[in-house]
């Protein structure tokens, strides 16, 4: 087990530091912070609402992650396949699960870094009023879990192509579908013809429905299990795809 | 001592039989020259020997370890330079070799020592802090060789190690292969016949996935009437 974690951490470190070897990290962090702040203060009308909470901050996260998580995850496997380093990597004494987990965790913790960097917004709301910091903490946690879902899905899809642009587009569309499944308009259109159970199934798979509950400070077991199991399912499929597509 | 024993390997991709019934045995001190026209199945065979591809049938034993049953331990005995010498182009030479060394289980002082030896022996000291992307083709190939050798493996599998190198670099590479071959088993795939004559103790010629010739190089060279070049052309026609 110790050896398993050791190898996983070597992969993790290479991937995590890889974000900082190119301008990708700084551009991503800058765009994420600028967009999340802009959306919170201008589109979310943070000041006009006059409420000491971060709803106007978190409400945009599914939409931001929709674009930004595929941007982070598109390179994970597509680049390895295109440059041929996948052959080097997979002839090292390492298992597919160590590779997939190491890469995924690196991208997930890089996202955590981006989320942590939004703390000034949390300080602002504490300075201006007395928000429920428990709800804010749960929202942060939920936001990170949701980002994990987007990333694991993107990682999985980036194994299917050698082209990072294709990986980005397909991932964005897939993430969009996962978000939209819980959108009122989509559910209403499904409800008109589908049985109730199908509508509920579609809604239960939506990132948006689960994230909305978290936003109000409700991190119930179902939501937690949903996000974690979504991540685990995507990682398992990713491990399978690595074995299947490595030599294509 | 036997290092690698591959028996009756088969591999097909769809309707194409890339490798049909190839068997290879590699002993300590042996350098096998793996020859064949383009598309003969050289790279596919090497990919199977290194555990990157699984054979459809047949068996591969690395120092008596079954590659399909215990791939982690079997792979740790092999050093591999894939075709085109791929490496992480955004890393520096040193950090890339560190990464591979650590993945190969090297630690602390041993890792530092091996890294130092590699940089010195493969003439990478002056570019050790350079980003791999900015290196010339010759240097990139040397980085590929260094990562394959970093853990001092018993078996070295090199897919076209001198491809794209200038004559001086080719000479250096052959010298290096010769110098390390005494206590290792090496398999080299190449298109260059004089390379086989210069460094390989055994020559295997394959075409359409089948072994056409498997002989000691010195026995081939004994024949004054035919050289390796004419034999190659004759049997792979």
Residues A116-126 pLDDT 10s: 999 998 998 88
- Chain A CB contacts of B105 under 8 Å are 93
What is the model's pLDDT at position B173?
A: 86
The minimal CB distance from B88 to the residues A10, A85, A92 is found for A85
Helix (H) or strand (E) holding A44: none
Q: Is the pLDDT of residue A82 over 70?
A: yes
**What gap in Å lies between CA B195 and CA B127, rounded to an integer?**
27
pLDDT, tens digit (0-9, with 9 covering 90-100), for B12-39: 998 888 999 999 999 999 999 999 888 8
The minimal CB distance from A10 to the residues B52, B83, B99 is found for B99
**What gap in Å lies between CA A137 and CA A133, rounded to an integer?**
6
What is the model's pLDDT at position A177?
A: 86
**Confidence band, pLDDT 50/70/90 cuts, at residue B163:** confident
Mean pLDDT of A211-236: 85
CA distance B182 to chain A (A): 24
The minimal CB distance from A84 to the residues B71, B86, B100 is found for B86
Q: Which domain holds residue A84?
A: 2-245
Chain A CA closest to residue B151: A92
Token pair recorded at residue A184: 């009122």
Following DSSP, what letter does each residue of A149-185 receive, concatenated? HHHHHHHHHHTT-S-HHHHHHHHHHHHHHHHHTT-HH
Whether the CB-CB separation of B51 and A91 falls below 8 Å is answered with: yes
For chain A, the average pLDDT equals 89
Residue B142's Cβ-side half-sphere holds a number of Cα atoms within 13 Å equal to: 28
Interface contact flag, B104 A94, Cβ < 8 Å: no
- Chain B CB contacts of A7 under 8 Å are 103
Quick one: angle between helices A24-38 and A2-21, nearest 10? 80
What is the model's pLDDT at position B155?
A: 96
- Chain A CB contacts of B43 under 8 Å are none
- Chain B CB contacts of A94 under 8 Å are 72, 103
Q: Is the pLDDT of residue B231 over 90?
A: no
The residue with greater pLDDT, B86 or A224, is B86
What is the model's pLDDT at position A52?
A: 66
**Confidence band, pLDDT 50/70/90 cuts, at residue B205:** very high
Q: Go through the domains of chain B in sequence order and give each one's CATH number.
A: 31-55+76-236 (3.40.50.300)
DSSP conformation class of A42: I
How many independent structural domains does chain A possess?
A: 1
**What gap in Å lies between CA B53 and CA B57, rounded to an integer?**
12
Please check whether residue A85 touches B, CB under 8 A. yes
Mean pLDDT of B59-80: 95
Please check whether residue A95 touches B, CB under 8 A. yes
Entry pTM: 0.91
Whether the CB-CB separation of B118 and B149 falls below 8 Å is answered with: yes
The minimal CB distance from B50 to the residues A7, A83, A91 is found for A91
For chain B, the average pLDDT equals 91
Interface contact flag, B72 A95, Cβ < 8 Å: yes
**Confidence band, pLDDT 50/70/90 cuts, at residue A187:** confident
What is the model's pLDDT at position A57?
A: 85
Mean pLDDT of A100-114: 96
């Amino acid at each position: 087990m110790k050896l398993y974690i050791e190898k996983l951490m070597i992969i993790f470190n290479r991937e995590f530091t890889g974000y900082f070897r190119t301008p990708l990290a700084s551009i991503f962090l800058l765009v994420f912070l600028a967009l999340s702040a802009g959306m919170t203060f201008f589109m979310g009308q943070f000041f006009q609402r006059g409420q000491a909470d971060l709803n106007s901050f978190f409400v945009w996260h599914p939409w931001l992650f929709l674009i930004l998580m595929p941007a982070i995850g598109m390179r994970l496997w597509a680049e390895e396949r295109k440059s041929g380093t996948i052959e080097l990597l997979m002839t090292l004494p390492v298992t597919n699960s160590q590779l997939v987990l190491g890469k995924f965790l690196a991208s997930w913790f890089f996202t955590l870094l981006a989320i942590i960097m939004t703390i000034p917004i949390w300080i602002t709301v504490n300075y201006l009023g007395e928000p429920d910091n428990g709800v804010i903490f749960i929202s942060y946690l939920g936001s990170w879990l949701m980002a994990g879902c987007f990333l694991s899905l993107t990682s999985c899809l980036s194994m299917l192509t050698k082209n990072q642009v294709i990986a980005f587009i397909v991932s964005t569309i897939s993430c969009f579908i996962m978000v939209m499944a819980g959108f009122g308009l989509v559910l209403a259109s499904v409800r008109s013809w589908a049985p109730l159970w199908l509508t509920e199934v579609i809604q239960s798979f939506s990132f948006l429905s689960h994230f909305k509950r978290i936003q109000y400070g409700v991190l119930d077991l179902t939501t937690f299990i949903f996000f974690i199991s979504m991540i685990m399912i995507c990682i398992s499929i990713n491990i399978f795809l690595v074995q299947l597509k490595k030599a294509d | 001592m036997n290092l690698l024993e591959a028996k009756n390997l088969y591999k097909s991709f769809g309707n194409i039989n890339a490798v049909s019934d190839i068997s290879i045995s590699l002993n300590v001190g042996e350098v096998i020259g793996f020859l064949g026209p383009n598309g003969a199945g050289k790279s596919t065979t090497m990919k199977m020997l290194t555990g990157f591809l699984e054979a459809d049938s047949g068996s591969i034993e690395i120092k008596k370890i079954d590659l399909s049953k215990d791939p982690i331990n079997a792979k740790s005995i092999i050093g591999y330079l894939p075709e085109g010498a791929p490496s992480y182009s955004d890393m520096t030479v040193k950090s890339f070799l560190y990464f591979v060394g650590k993945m190969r289980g090297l630690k602390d002082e041993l890792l530092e020592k091996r890294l130092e030896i590699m940089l010195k022996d493969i003439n990478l000291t002056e570019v050790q802090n350079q980003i791999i992307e900015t290196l010339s083709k010759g240097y990139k190939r040397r980085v590929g060789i260094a990562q394959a050798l970093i853990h001092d493996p018993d078996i070295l599998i090199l897919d076209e190690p001198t491809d794209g190198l200038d004559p001086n670099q080719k000479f250096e590479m052959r010298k290096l292969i010769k110098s390390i071959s005494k206590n290792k088993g090496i398999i080299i795939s190449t298109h260059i016949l004089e390379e086989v004559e210069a460094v390989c103790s055994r020559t295997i010629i394959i075409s359409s996935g089948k072994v056409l010739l498997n002989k000691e190089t010195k026995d081939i060279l004994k024949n004054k009437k035919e050289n390796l070049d004419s034999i190659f052309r004759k049997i792979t026609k």
